[in-house]
Amino acid sequence: MDYIKQNLRLCAFARITKLIIFLFFSISTFAQIDRVEPPFWWNDMEHSDVQIMFYGKNIAENQVSVSNGIIIKGIQKTENPNYVFVTIDTKNTTAQNLVFTFKNKNKSFTQNYSLKSRKENSRDRKSFDSSDMIYLLMPDRFANGNTNNDSHPSVIEKADRTKIDGRYGGDIDGMIKNLDYIKDLGATTLWPTPLCEDNDERGSYHTYGQSDVYKIDPRFGTNEDYVKLSNELHNRDMKLIMDYVTNHWSYNHWMMKDMPTYDWFHQFPGYKQTNYKTTTHSDTNASETDKNLATSGWFVKSMPDLNQKNPLVLNYLIQNAIWWIEYANLDGFRVDTYPYTDKESIALWTKAVTDEYPNFNIAAEAWLYSHAQISYWQKDSKISAIQSYNSYCPTVMDFMLQTILEKGVLKEEKQNWNEGVTKFYDTFSNDFLYPNINNMFVFAENHDTQRINFVYPKFEDYKITMALIATIRGIPQLYYGSEIGMTGSKNVGDGDIRREFPGGWSDHKQNAFTKEGRTAEQEKYHAVTKKLFNWRKNKEVIHTGKTTHYIPENNVYVYFRYNEKESVMIIMNNSVEKQKMNINHFKESIKNNTSGKDVLTDKSFDLKNDIEIEGKSVLILELK
């Protein structure tokens, strides 16, 4: 009996030992792959040759195969044995689960990979355009919807609202909870600054130095939360723009710590700052030294510059962009520091995205100080065509308009021949340089500029500014908080122009998200903003109409937006004095219309007589 018991114990021990060994090797084999990017893909994509990056200790030492008869079109290894890039052909395949096998001599392990079904009509999704109004916000400073994620153990910087550049706790939940407020204001599209993980030690709240471009920063939420934000917007017939960064990552990006190739990032070796002279792209007199430093130098020391000339890097960025569009059902991109990249590479990136989604709109941040230089970066530009270049980027940002507003054009009340609102006239007289004038971001400010209410503390100037942004050609963009008179000075620091929205935190004494919570002054700002942009929503004449403008006199600027169906006359008096408008001077645009009704006051004007307009005011007349 003891002999039998002993044998039973030995058999049990052997089984347990085998189980432990099995579990050990299972865990060990599983651990050999630390990352797979993209984490999954879709069948029936234009980008059907998907290049999958597998990352793990010495993974390149293995032979790779894949199940289900899928063809491996290429296997690329680098000087770093921890990476292998495997390209498979997904054309004409179905949605299915694949198994990759990695084999080295007698040892092997596997990795599952999914090809998913695309959403219906995904390729032909409608993007943002000139019929939209974009609401720009900084997630960390807008609203804190979930206090449990203010800090997170997986990232370095913790919440600290005492610091001007600290993390404050705003998140995706905060945005979702206030979408009805944003829609009610007249916005149709949401543009949050980047949401992917930024694991810098400080100043990470703006998230332009990303440390993982396949993962939402845990202090904002999860990837699933981001998809929820997209769904919630679409449920309200609104759109979502992703702020995408092609130029640089964070120096704490996981790849910086174990580079796939030495030239994945630009090396000098290591850090060297850009000269910020992106005009070198078009400058026929520029030296090669200056050109190279403009695009290869690092934006700042904490943001290593990506080398898009490396085909692995470029394809990685293309696939990452497409992955987010398909995964989160996105409606557009705003691309940060667009001209700081290699111009041929960024054109390939842009074309690959728009080939996949022909109606997809991408807005380039081309922060330059001439119309020709900005126009250079718009798709089919005649300026860039001189150099046989096409960026393929549909939209550019009108920094010329923003610059003259920031420099105080509306403060120039006593007008000389080239001052005051004549600067508006002069800037719009350059519209002929742009191949698609309706595809321009028009804005008074954003998260990198002076607050417009700091530049112009008086409500009358804000009203003129918003009337301009709401009625000129292009796609209007409003920066969060301006609609309640929020201010802040870039001279104090970037954190001051990115303040908390009142009501976004539980300890705030007022809640400006509600009419009852706004002060009388805040409500004045909010009411005019809401009226303007809700009126604009259904105005095709503003979205795609033509423009005729007249040389300003006495600091009064008059322009018309018109199409075959209707006409709108905008009279902008920047003078402090009342002005009388000789109506016959505008007869060619007024035509047979006999009256005009002001959008903001509902007051009617007889167009048979001259019009008087109060000082520092604006009229938006729908002509009848």
Coil/strand/helix, residue 389: coil
Give CA–CA dist 272/424, Å, rounded.
39
Catalytic, 336? Answer: yes
Per the CB < 8 A criterion, the answer to whether 317 and 246 are in contact is: yes
Q: Cα–Cα–Cα angle for 379, 380, 381, nearest 5°?
A: 95
Neighbours of 362 (CB within 10 A): 26
Helix H or strand E segment including 288: helix 288-296
Q: Cα–Cα–Cα angle for 464, 396, 338, nearest 5°?
A: 130
Distances (CA, A) of 510 to 459, 513, 515, 530: 21, 9, 11, 20
Residue 365: φ, ψ to 5°? -80, 90
The pair of structure tokens assigned to 388 is 């046989």
Catalytic, 365? Answer: yes
Residue 575: φ, ψ to 5°? -75, 155
Give CA–CA dist 239/618, Å, rounded.
30
Give CA–CA dist 357/352, Å, rounded.
9
Give CA–CA dist 184/531, Å, rounded.
10
Q: Report how far Cα 302 is from the mean position of its chain's Cα atoms.
A: 21
Q: Which of 336, 342, 461, 622 is catalytic?
A: 336
Per the CB < 8 A criterion, the answer to whether 455 and 422 are in contact is: no
Q: Which of 173, 365, 412, 445 is catalytic?
A: 365
Strand partners, 305: 248
- Indicate the residue type of 183: K
Give CA–CA dist 193/459, Å, rounded.
27
Using a CB cutoff of 8 Å and minimum separation of 24, what contacts does 540-544 make? 540/131, 540/565, 541/565, 541/566, 541/567, 541/568, 542/470, 542/471, 542/568, 543/129, 543/130, 543/131, 543/438, 544/130, 544/438
Q: What is the set of active-site residues?
A: 336, 365
